[in-house]
Chain A
Amino acid sequence: EDQVTQSPEALRLQEGESSSLNCSYTVSGLRGLFWYRQDPGKGPEFLFTLYSAGEEKEKERLKATLTKKESFLHITAPKPEDSATYLCAVQANNQGGKLIFGQGTELSVKP
Chain B
Amino acid sequence: KAGVTQTPRYLIKTRGQQVTLSCSPISGHRSVSWYQQTPGQGLQFLFEYFSETQRNKGNFPGRFSGRQFSNSRSEMNVSTLELGDSALYLCASSPGQGYEQFFGPGTRLTVL
A interface vs B, CB < 8 Å? 31-32, 34, 36, 42-46, 49, 51, 87, 89, 91, 95-104
Q: For the complex, is B70 an interface residue (Cβ under 8 Å from A)?
A: no
Q: How far is the CA of A43 from the CA of B50 in the complex (A)?
A: 21
Q: How far is the CA of A102 from the CA of B97 in the complex (A)?
A: 20
Q: Which residues of chain B are near A42, meaning CB under 8 Å?
A: 105-106
Complex interface bits, B29-65 against A, C-beta within 8 A gives 1, otherwise 0: 0010101000000111100101000011010000000
Q: Which residues of chain A are near B106, meaning CB under 8 Å?
A: 42-43
With A43-B90, A96-B48 already in contact, the answer to whether A101 and B42 are too (CB < 8 A) is yes
Select which of A31, A45, A101 is within 8 A of B97 by beta carbon. Answer: A31
Select which of A31, A102, A103 is within 8 A of B98 by beta carbon. Answer: A31
Chain A, residue nearest B31 (CB): A97
Interface size class of B (residues with CB under 8 A): 20 to 34
Is there contact, CB below 8 Å, between A44 and B103? yes
Is there contact, CB below 8 Å, between B103 and A96? no
Is there contact, CB below 8 Å, between A98 and B90? no
Is there contact, CB below 8 Å, between B48 and A97? yes
Is there contact, CB below 8 Å, between A46 and B101? yes
| B66-112, CB < 8 A from A | 90, 92, 94, 96-106
Q: Which residues of chain B are near A89, meaning CB under 8 Å?
A: 43
Is there contact, CB below 8 Å, between B98 and A99? no
Is there contact, CB below 8 Å, between B42 and A104? yes
Is there contact, CB below 8 Å, between A49 and B103? no
Is there contact, CB below 8 Å, between A98 and B33? yes
| B1-41, CB < 8 A from A | 4, 31, 33, 35
Q: How far is the CA of A45 from the CA of B90 in the complex (A)?
A: 12
Is there contact, CB below 8 Å, between A97 and B50? yes
Q: Which residues of chain B are near A44, meaning CB under 8 Å?
A: 43, 90, 103
Chain B, residue nearest A104 (CB): B42
Q: How far is the CA of A31 from the CA of B99 in the complex (A)?
A: 9
Q: Tell me the minimal C-beta distance from B45 to chain A in angstroms.
A: 5
Q: Tell me the minimal C-beta distance from A87 to chain B in angstroms.
A: 7
**Nearest 9 Cβ contacts at the A-B interface:** A43-B103, A96-B56, A101-B43, A96-B55, A97-B48, A44-B103, A103-B42, A98-B45, A46-B100
